[in-house]
Amino acid sequence: MLAQQAITTGLKLNEIQVIMLDDGIRARVYISDEMGGTMCHSISKEAWATYSVKLGAFLSNAASKIMAEPWRAKAKMPPIKFAFYHVDATGTGPNQYSLVDVTMKYLQAIENREGAPGQVTFSEMKTKDGKRALVFDIDGEKITSLKHGSGVFAAVAAHCHAHQKAAGSISLAYLSLPLDFRKKNCPRGAKTYHFLAYKNLLERKLNEPLKTLK
């Protein structure tokens, strides 16, 4: 099969899949969620090793959140699996490819990542007077919009820059979806796509001020 055909035929429901195709120049990354929706982007081959572990840790956390969604329990949906695949040549002829399950290759690195210091997580809190606030947690240090207002993203960037100068960018390890986002984008229940979309939104807002500090 052609590379794209191998990817398409390998998609599975109730499995979050990270599929990497090395096109010789860049790593093309396909992320398929548990409902079959697929997202694609490309990164440098050199960045893949670090990126894959960060992404794997985030998706592993997201999977546990999604399995707890009330709609999945009501519909009696099966547990969500999580897997990494490489698109490899079969050796049986030109342009012949297949998906190779390489999950075990990444699991230990992902588990180590989940317990590593310096990770940034996000949640929303509700105050006693009913206000909602953004909360970023970095090794127990909470940076909130209650204290910093709209400058909370710059405050997180400044903290990361001060304590992790070698970090080229800020990547969220874990997040919960705010109520307003849920009401607008996934009123019937969240899926992997929603977690990735909100992750990308927050990371853009965090990395913009980080660039000005370098």
In this prediction, residue 173 carries a pLDDT of 92
Q: Tell me, what amino acid is at 203?
A: E
| Crossing angle of helices 192-211 and 152-163, rounded to 10° | 70
Is the model's pLDDT at 94 over the cut of 70? no
In this prediction, residue 126 carries a pLDDT of 85
- Residue 78 has phi, psi (to 5 degrees) of -70, 165
pTM value? 0.88
Q: How confident is the model at residue 163 (pLDDT cuts 50, 70, 90)?
A: confident
Q: For all residues of the chain together, what is the average pLDDT?
A: 90
In this prediction, residue 210 carries a pLDDT of 93
Per-residue pLDDT, averaged over 7-29, amounts to 91
Q: How confident is the model at residue 165 (pLDDT cuts 50, 70, 90)?
A: low
In this prediction, residue 131 carries a pLDDT of 84
In this prediction, residue 166 carries a pLDDT of 60
| DSSP conformation class of 212 | T
Are 197 and 185 a contacting pair, CB within 8 Å?
yes
In this prediction, residue 182 carries a pLDDT of 93
- Give the SS3 label for residue 58: helix
Per-residue pLDDT, averaged over 12-34, amounts to 93
Is the model's pLDDT at 93 over the cut of 70? no
| DSSP conformation class of 104 | H
